[in-house]
Amino acid sequence: MNKSSSIIKIKIQNEDFDVSEEIKVLYQNNTGAVVNFVGIVRDYDEKNKQIINSMTLEHYPGMTETEIEKIIIESFDRWELTGVTVIHRIGNLKPFDQIVFVGVSSKHRQNAFDGCNFIMDWLKTKAPFWKFEEYNNQKNWVSFNESDNQALEKWKN
């Protein structure tokens, strides 16, 4: 068997993505497991007790891609992975729209689970995206969630 090279794909885009198509990119030699995370726009802001009309995401072009790439490279160092895809949408989104896709493939399922979980935790704390929610006549920049910093603790070894 020739071991094919690893897949790394990073996309920042306005358009929606198709999960079936994206995970098929990850079906390749030596892969048995694909774990993916999809984040979706909530319909309700619990903190401010408001029904969300829409959400807008902005980012820092150039830095975003570099930070995500660093996280992916770190995940390949930590686990035996065959491929990683990260797609993050920007612009205006509605409740139940897909925001982010993180797909990780591996020969063994636990590596795929851990790699995907790791990338999401780091993306949440390092990738330069900011979002605001729109209520009826309000615009509210979402504030950083301290639990996202705590989530990183499990990757310290």
Partner 1 sequence: MVIKYFSWIKEHLGKSEEHIVLPNHITNVDQLIDYLNQMDKKYHLILKKKEIIKVAVNKTYSSFDANISNDDEIAFFPPVTGG
Residue (44 or 144) nearer to partner 1, CB: 144
Does 26 bind partner 1 (CB under 8 A)? Our answer is no
Candidates 6-14, 61-69, 85-93, 115-123; binding stretch for a second copy (CB under 8 A):
115-123
CB of 35 to a second copy, least distance (A): 5
Q: Closest Cα partner for 108 from 84, 135, 80, 139?
A: 80
Strands 7-13 and 83-89: parallel
Does 91 bind partner 1 (CB under 8 A)? Our answer is no
Residues 16 and 94 sit within 8 Å (Cβ to Cβ): no
CB of 5 to partner 1, least distance (A): 27
Residues 72 and 102 sit within 8 Å (Cβ to Cβ): no
Residue (32 or 61) nearer to a second copy, CB: 32
Does 44 bind partner 1 (CB under 8 A)? Our answer is no
Distance CA 43, CA 33 (A): 31
Task: Tell which positions 55-84 bind partner 1, by CB under 8 A.
Answer: 57-60, 62-63, 66
Query: Which string of x and - marks every residue 19-48 that binds a second copy (by CB under 8 A)?
Result: xxx-x---xxxxxxxxxxxxxx-xxx----
Does 141 bind partner 1 (CB under 8 A)? Our answer is yes
Q: Which residues pair with residue 130 across a beta bridge?
A: 58
Burial of 111 (0-12, 13-18, 19+ CB in 10 A): buried
